[in-house]
Amino acid sequence: MQFFQIIWETIKSAPWVTLYFIVKYVIIGLTIVIGAAFLVLLPYAWNYGKIPFRWKNQPKKYQRELKDTNAFQRQWEAIIAKSDSSPPDSFITAIMETDAMIDEILKEMGLPGEHMPDRLESLNPETTKSMEHLWRAHSMKNNLMHTPGFTLTEHEAKRVLGDYEAFLKEIGIV
């Protein structure tokens, strides 16, 4: 019983106001430190795990990012420079080369498929904003290759190259 009396006397004689302020300032200090840490780490957390687009129904082994975007950027710049040299034939060559380059990019990203349309099917259209442009450009390239007498105007060829460029911008090459 004497033990409880000692505890009770200690509690009664404790400086509660001082104890209240100590607890209050410790809580305020922890809140400030945690808030500051949150604000400092928020940009890192926001970008953690972001990739330019997501693949639908694909295991993680297909979700690779490009290692060397500079090589593709230089290749794109060379294609554009050549396309301006002697239209309209240079536009057709530029479309063919760009389509092949994008197919190579999709392969390097690890997208499965035997042909480019198979790899394009692996892209998720909800997160790949330029998907429609890429399909349109690829179908124009196929028309150029497989449809006898198919021709493009300069305006159409520039639009096709613009469609390819939209995808290249989205994945961070241009």
54 part of a folded domain: no
Q: Report yes or no on 52 lying in a domain.
A: no
Find out whether 98 and 133 touch, Cβ atoms under 8 Å: no
Structure tokens at 162: 């613009």
Cα–chain-centroid distance for residue 87?
34
CA atoms of 55 and 135, how far apart (whole Å) = 16
Instruction: Quickly tell me which residue has 């593709």 as its tokens.
Output: 72
Q: Structural domain tally of the chain? A: 2
Let me know whether 27 and 71 are in one domain: no
pTM confidence score: 0.62
88 and 33 inside one domain: no
Q: Which residue carries 């693949």 as its tokens? A: 55
What is the pLDDT tens value at each position of the chain, 174 positions in all?
Answer: 788 888 878 777 777 767 788 888 999 999 999 999 988 887 777 666 554 444 444 444 444 566 778 888 899 999 888 887 776 778 888 999 999 999 998 888 888 888 999 888 887 777 778 888 899 999 999 998 888 888 888 889 889 999 999 988 888 888
